[in-house]
Structure 1
């Protein structure tokens, strides 16, 4: 037989577990929606700014934005990550100032909750 104290304790546990599950749903949900190279892809050598636009469709929090520069065979020549704070449903442009290796053929970017 359940006592009143045990029943109330069980309800409190169920509520706190439910709330913990809701907070996990409020994490950032970032997606890279665009990548732009200052001066265009033809200017992709030496000191260059690369802009990565990220859309956060989730809650507020930190997002790790990663930029990779690859050669023609897909080998990563440069890998740089920035952690950026996002508000819920916010879009931001993240600037990477990089020294682009000579053999760079492709720019790739990704974003994930940090």
Structure 2
């Protein structure tokens, strides 16, 4: 037979376990939705601004946004990362001001919880 103390103690453990599980879900869930090069792809030479739009479908927190500039063979010529704080369900534009290496043909951006 269960006593009141065992039931209350068991509920406390169940609540703590539930709260701990929710903590794992409360991190940012960022996705890059757009990458835009100031002046278009033809402007990929010299000092250029690259705009990366990130959508956070998770909780508030820090997000790392990484920009890679690649040559025609997929070799990374430039790799730059910025950390930004995002609110839950926020869409944010992150600006990278980069000196584009010669031979750059493509820009790729990714985002992840920091």
TM-score (norm 2): 0.93
Residue in 2 that maps onto 1:58: 58
Residue in 2 that maps onto 1:68: 68
Distance 1:27 1:82 in 2: 18
| RMSD (Å), alpha carbons | 1.3
Secondary structure (helix, strand or coil) at the match of 2:35 reads strand
Residue in 1 that maps onto 2:108: 108
Secondary structure (helix, strand or coil) at the match of 2:31 reads strand
Which sections of structure 2, spanning at least 5 residues, go unmatched? none
Query: How many pairs align?
Result: 114
Distance 2:36 2:15 in 1: 46
Please state how far the C-alpha of 1:8 moved relative to its aligned partner.
2.5
Distance 1:89 1:76 in 2: 31
Distance 1:53 1:42 in 2: 20
- Report runs of 4+ in structure 1 exceeding 3 Å deviation: 1-7
Which sections of structure 1, spanning at least 5 residues, go unmatched? none
Residue in 2 that maps onto 1:84: 84
Residue in 1 that maps onto 2:49: 49
- Over residues 14-50 of structure 1, what are the superposed CA-to-partner deviations in whole Å (9 max), with x where a residue is unaligned? 1011012112222111110000111111011111110
Residue in 2 that maps onto 1:9: 9
Secondary structure (helix, strand or coil) at the match of 2:88 reads coil
Residue in 2 that maps onto 1:29: 29
Please state how far the C-alpha of 1:61 moved relative to its aligned partner.
0.7
TM-score (norm 1): 0.93
